[in-house]
Chain A
Amino acid sequence: MAIEFADVHVRLGQRDVLRGVTASLTERRVGVVGANGSGKSTLARLVNGLALPTSGSVTVLGLDTRRHAARIRRGVGFLFTDPDAQIVMPTVAEDVAFSLRRKGLSREEIDRRVTEVLTRYGLADHADHPAHHLSGGQKQLLALCSIMVLEPEILVMDEPTTLLDLRHSRQVAGLLRDLPQQVLVITHDLPLLDGFDRVLVLDEGRVVADGSPEEAIGHYRKLMA
């Protein structure tokens, strides 16, 4: 299953944020790098229909994001930079369970899935703790748990390590390697892309490099020099 961008343009107000992006992303680990304002976050938001193309099309899980945004969101998890903006419920377990509220599952099944995902990501001991008492890294893990409990087919991460210290960044990088899903990561944290299958470099709304992490990051470093 792929993420397909076909001649995607996005215009916000007077500004062209993306200018003719075409790419077919089929690899398991895809990274996107670029300067601030290069269109990276807009590209990420296009994948689950949070942003829509002004022209061109985005196809995810075989569906057009313009017509099937709700269905696509059920299959695409999205991890934002700031975990505080994603945590909805006061306690850790409740926030994870909240993701399953409209799935028609029994309370026992919800509890089982919540316990399983919190154990997998090392938050089981914090299940009843207030979410706002967690550290920044733990909050990002909680946000990840709240997405992973839905078992998405694709995971999009928009600068997931920007607010984290080195230890928690490494923890997220380690978890990222083990995720079974296709993952698209937008980042400034270049070591996070070690072992990735493909990296795209965006500059002023265009893909200016596309290849292995070594090639693409080399191009990005020259661009930023």
Chain B
Amino acid sequence: MNGLTGAYVPGSSVLHRLPAGAKLAGLAAACTVLVLLRAPVALAAAGVLVAALYALSRVGVAAAWAQVRPVRWFAVALFGMQVVFADLDGAISTTLRVVLAVALAGLVTLTTRTAAMMRTLERCLSPARFVGLDPFRLSLLLSLTVRSVPVVASLAGRVREAQRARGVERSLRAFAVPLVVSSLRHADALGEALSARGLDD
């Protein structure tokens, strides 16, 4: 579930202790380097480096796999298309590039508290004040998105159970309608709870 929720894995590694801003800047730089690397050998070496960073972070194999698991079928499809429309070297490079970028982004999420990420984003978004946007609200939006993933997943689980109980598990409409309705209800309740916590001042 960590991959889906982007949950922080507590720890005291060097990566955990690095400021969120430094990690985000490092991520941007690393992704740029991945785009510039062409040879599969160079990208394989980058893969070894990413694996070493995961080992350094001590977040565990399960958390690491959870980061790239959601893109596994996309990676397979991308590799297949690249083999057909380009060549084998290009397919290996492109696929490795995408998987490594996702793994690195996951590593930042796993080693950074959402609150620290929010503070950094707020600082980066502070110029938005000049066009009338509230950086706090923008960073809150990110946090709520992260938080809403497990909530919607749980709602979907409940709807699926209710479908099974009524024997209509193959009906897309019987799945989508209650899920959308319950998600909207949850959004209403969340908005009310934020108001009650004084966050609509």
Q: Which residues of A contact B (CB under 8 A)?
A: 48, 50, 70, 73-74, 77-78, 80, 82, 84-91, 94, 97-99, 101-102, 128, 130-132, 146-147, 150
Contact = CB atoms under 8 A, between A and B. Distances in A.
Contact of B147 (A74, A90, A97, A99): A90
Contacts of A146: 197
A94 B115 contact: yes
Interface string B188-199: 011011111111
Interface in B111-167: 113-115, 136, 140, 143-144, 146-147, 150-151, 154
Contact of A102 (B113, B146, B201): B201
Contacts of B146: 90
Given A73-B195, A89-B115, A94-B113, A128 B147 contact: no
26 contacts: A50-B195, A70-B198, A73-B197, A77-B196, A78-B196, A80-B193, A82-B189, A85-B190, A86-B196, A86-B197, A87-B147, A88-B140, A88-B197, A89-B147, A90-B143, A90-B147, A98-B115, A102-B198, A128-B8, A128-B10, A130-B5, A130-B7, A130-B150, A132-B151, A147-B197, A150-B197
A16 B196 CA distance: 24
Contacts of A50: 192, 195-196
Interface size class of B (residues with CB under 8 A): 20 to 34
A50 B196 CA distance: 7
Given A73-B196, A88-B147, A97 B7 contact: no
A28 B181 CA distance: 38
Nearest to A143: B193
A90 B8 contact: yes
A102 B150 CA distance: 26
Interface in B96-121: 113-115
A224 to B, nearest CB: 27
A70 B189 CA distance: 18
Given A85-B190, A86-B196, A128-B8, 4 more contacts: A85-B189, A89-B143, A101-B136, A128-B10
Nearest to B155: A84
Contacts of B195: 50, 73
Contacts of A132: 5, 150-151, 154
Contacts of A98: 115, 143
Given A90-B146, A132-B151, A80 B192 contact: yes
B196 A94 contact: no
Contact of A99 (B1, B8, B189, B197): B197
A169 B115 CA distance: 31
A146 B136 CA distance: 18
Contact of B144 (A78, A88, A130, A131): A88
A92 B102 CA distance: 26
Nearest to B187: A85
Contacts of A150: 197-198
A91 B136 contact: no
Please name the 10 residue pairs, one residue from A and one from B, whose CB atoms are nearest each other, closest first.
A85-B189, A128-B10, A78-B196, A132-B150, A86-B193, A130-B7, A73-B198, A94-B115, A70-B201, A90-B114
A88 B115 CA distance: 11
